[in-house]
Structure 1
Amino acid sequence: MAPTSETLTAERILEATEEVLRRHGPAKATVVDVARALGVSHGSVYRHFRTKAALREAVTKRWLDRTSEALSGIAADDRDPEGRLRDWLRTLFEAKRRKAGLDPELFATYRVLTDENGTVVGEHLADLTAQLTRIVRAGAEAGTFAAPDPEAAARAVFHATGRFHDPCHAHEWERPGVEEEFTAVVDLLVRGLRAP
């Protein structure tokens, strides 16, 4: 294979891997396909990712990190905790729904990959609940929320809203009335957190 004019980086490999996964799906996509898409030998890809599993784990982490990064700014904001909580949950729901709706092939692929990469998914979920904990803790410190254990409250909020961000519910996200259902759940949770 003729070398490409661009330097081969891990980021370029991950971009190409997404395209290959989109085209072939996780069952048929190979490192050779990724190398071919980049115009390099498969050995060049293995210099960056030692195994196919490592490549699949990295592309899964990259995909999940996009969601975490979009939410981290909301979690770090210093405005009122209730507004931040509502915005954070809405942004999570919209991000997941957008991924499922705009690129259903890749979304389906990532559902398979996240099942394979329990460590990466566990780290992602821990990051998301840490962000929520930050918001709930800020609310407790400001007297807005009655949450003696902000971490437990954040986990409860995360689990209670699972229907709106867990990929296993993706088929429900475009149904009529889902927006109203989301708002009702968030309103209920916020009322439950408010200090008396």
Structure 2
Amino acid sequence: MNKAGSFLSKTEILDAAEQTLRRFGPDKTSVTDVAKLLGVSHGTLYRHFPSKAALREAVTERWLEEQIILPLAELAEPEESDSLEQLRKYITRLSELKAHHAKQDGEMFKMYASVTEEASALIETHIARIIGQLSSIIRRGQEADQLSQAESASTLARALFYATARFHHPAHAYEWQSSLIGQDLKQLWELLARGLTAAARPHI
């Protein structure tokens, strides 16, 4: 269907771009490919996104929000009484989500890995969302005297995020197929857990 001259929503463009990227891969997909799928000229798309890079970033941003941030948000809700266990579940889920998409959604994950190197502002925002969710869990744990209060919640959250980067940063995706990766994360968590609870005030 030719949509030239009609209203084209951002959602329609992103849906078509994601479909095209999965079909041809991020390296071979062009704005013209997306335009053909939508039945419009490539100039129409450029009125919404100034470049192919901007379109790729928008698709990646939406993908990260839907596939990573929203599932994790559920684990950051104040329902778990044990904050340390909630943190463990969160980090484990973050690692599982990244590994799953690296294996099952290869083209989109490849684009995400590429954008990680090219669009620092987008990735910084993504990381800030995750660290913010971790901070909320840690803050509740500190208020309940379950977690260390030696550092601020945001400082501990950043440290936790970067300490576990091997298990969720796309640069390490080649390692996630190892049969030992789960054991490695468990051993690291045991060390981190001792630090996270070291200065917590014991309940009397």
**TM-score exceeds 0.5:** yes
Deviates more, 1:55-64 or 1:118-127: 55-64
Query: In the alignment, what sits opposite 2:59?
Result: 59
Corresponding letter in the other structure for 1:117: A
For residue 146 of structure 1, report the CA deviation from its aligned partner: 1.1
Tell me the distance in 2 between the aligned counterparts of 1:174 and 1:53: 30
Which of 114, 119, 127 is the aligned partner of 2:116? 114
For residue 9 of structure 1, report the CA deviation from its aligned partner: 2.1
What secondary structure does 2:27 align onto?
A: helix
For residue 7 of structure 1, report the CA deviation from its aligned partner: 6.5
Tell me the distance in 2 between the aligned counterparts of 1:109 and 1:193: 34
Determine what percentage of the aligned residue pairs are the same residue: 42
Query: In the alignment, what sits opposite 1:193?
Result: 196
Query: In the alignment, what sits opposite 1:126?
Result: 128
**Normalised TM-score (structure 1):** 0.90
Structure 2: which 5+ residue stretches go unaligned?
Answer: none
Tell me the distance in 1 between the aligned counterparts of 2:21 and 2:115: 10
For residue 110 of structure 1, report the CA deviation from its aligned partner: 2.0
Query: In the alignment, what sits opposite 2:176?
Result: 173
Tell me the distance in 1 between the aligned counterparts of 2:42 and 2:107: 24
Tell me the distance in 2 between the aligned counterparts of 1:155 and 1:113: 21
For residue 13 of structure 1, report the CA deviation from its aligned partner: 1.3
What secondary structure does 2:158 align onto?
A: helix
For residue 8 of structure 1, report the CA deviation from its aligned partner: 3.2
- C-alpha contact 1:26 1:113 (8 A) present in aligned 2: no
**Normalised TM-score (structure 2):** 0.87
Query: In the alignment, what sits opposite 1:182?
Result: 185
**How many matched pairs?**
195
Deviates more, 1:85-94 or 1:23-32: 23-32
What secondary structure does 2:76 align onto?
A: helix
> Is structure 2 residue 107 aligned with structure 1 residue 105?
yes
- C-alpha contact 1:60 1:114 (8 A) present in aligned 2: no
Query: In the alignment, what sits opposite 1:17?
Result: 17
Displaced runs of 4+ in structure 1, greater than 4 A? Answer: none
Structure 1: which 5+ residue stretches go unaligned?
Answer: none
Tell me the distance in 1 between the aligned counterparts of 2:71 and 2:23: 26
RMSD: 2.0
What secondary structure does 1:78 align onto?
A: coil
